[in-house]
Amino acid sequence: MQKNEILVIYGGDISAMTKSLAMEADLAGLIGYHRKRIGLKPNLVVARPASEGATTHSEIAAGLIAYLKENGFNNLAILEGAWVGASTSQAFSACGYAALAKETGAALIDTKKDASRSCDCKGLSIEVCESALEIDFMINLPVMKGHCQTLLTCALKNNKGVIPDREKRRFHSLGLTKPIAHLNTVVRNDFIVVDGICGDLDFEEGGNPVYGGRLFAARDPVLCDTWAAAQMGYTVADIPYIGLAEKLGVGSADLRAARIRELNTCQSAQGSAVIAPTTPSGKVRALASRITGDKACSACYAALIFALSRLGPKEISRFREKIGVGQGFRDKKGAIGVGQCCSAFDAYCPGCPPSGADILEFLRE
């Protein structure tokens, strides 16, 4: 797998999807030496199940561990530190990682209990947990989700889990953008598998999940976050730490030079593609009331929800009719549609699936 590639896979068998990404990327070849210490860094910010949109599905780690063991890698560790005030051990239990570690023999490291060292992160001194610094190959497992301060949290921001709580507090006092970017000049991002199954639309602590039904893998955390931002209707300018990380040499934000490879399609992964999005919160339910879905693929539906969430009340009020999305609209007439299946509509946003950014631009036009 090249640095400018992003691999995308759709479906419902999360562990199998993860193994497919690892095989396609030749993860074993990327790691190389079998005795390397391999770290898996999920996002376990709070003790809430992944279905609520805040935390990384443990099936992703399970799929990776199975793949790694099959390829002769056994020096494995799962490491994370929940946010300030939360218990990592409770998160490990609630999210299935304690059971996974017991079953597989992987070490389970609570970075809150770890010693730390001061590191020069290209001009900014940051305390980093020693367990993370001792990792030879780090696999970052973020959730693609919203954040109340930075709008997006994905690969780059997920590495806040390898710094002590006092540094997390300092990061917020510094405004998050600068320290997040500088931290990633030192901490490893050797391989990234992003949980895009049902990330929370707005908040890092969950409760507002939107079903996306996909995972994607990358080697460049800047490119990874740039693409994730686009899926949620944002640009690099909206998420300043992405651009700053690029300037610091962490990676590239140039999507034009990226190679996006889908290992399957929404339709093939989901059969008839009739998947009801998870919409437990009032906000998402209100946005969904603006949509008419007919056999809608989850990725297309989620992108439309993301785009609608970016519109103001006056912008949304301009739409007198509901927005169509889904395979059931093929060759049918309508006013406004999203996705290639709505190509017969009076106005539609092309793509299969279109990104949140594309849909947002289309709706505003």
- Residue 118: strand, helix, or coil: strand
Nearest alpha-carbon partner for 91 in 55, 132, 138: 55
Measure Cα distances from 93 to 89, 105, 136, 161 in Å: 6, 15, 26, 17
The number of C-alpha atoms within 13 Å of 256 and in the hemisphere containing its C-beta is 0
Domains along the sequence of the chain with CATH: 5-262 (3.40.50.11440), 279-364 (no CATH)
Neighbour count for residue 313 (Cβ, 10 Å):
6
Distance CA 318, CA 61 (A): 44
How much is the pLDDT for 277? 41
The number of C-alpha atoms within 13 Å of 294 and in the hemisphere containing its C-beta is 14
* Entry pTM: 0.83
DSSP letter (8 states) at residue 355: P
| Amino acid (one-letter) located at 195 | D
* Neighbouring residues of 298: CB distance < 8 A, sequence distance ≥ 6: 10, 211, 212, 213, 214, 266, 270, 273, 275, 277
**Beta carbons of 170 and 72 less than 8 angstroms apart:** no
| Amino acid (one-letter) located at 312 | G
How much is the pLDDT for 270? 57
First-to-last C-alpha distance (Å) of the chain: 37
| Amino acid (one-letter) located at 101 | A
Q: Please identify which residue in the block is written with the tokens 């409770």.
A: 90
How much is the pLDDT for 23? 98
The CA-CA-CA angle for residues 35, 55, 201, to 5°, reads 135
| Amino acid (one-letter) located at 232 | M
Measure Cα distances from 254 to 118, 136, 197, 220 in Å: 32, 28, 25, 11
How much is the pLDDT for 310? 86
DSSP letters spanning 278-345: ---SHHHHHHHTTEEESS--HHHHHHHHHHHHHS-HHHHHT--SPEEESGGGTT---SEEESGGGTTS
How much is the pLDDT for 17? 97
Nearest 10 degrees: Cα torsion 22, 25, 26, 32: -90
How much is the pLDDT for 288? 80
Measure Cα distances from 129 to 84, 142, 143 in Å: 15, 18, 21
Tell me the backbone φ, ψ of residue 266, rounded to 5 degrees. -55, -45
How much is the pLDDT for 298? 62
Max Cα–Cα distance, the chain, nearest Å: 63
Pairing of strands 145-147, 151-153: antiparallel
Q: Which residues of the chain have pLDDT under 50?
A: 271-280
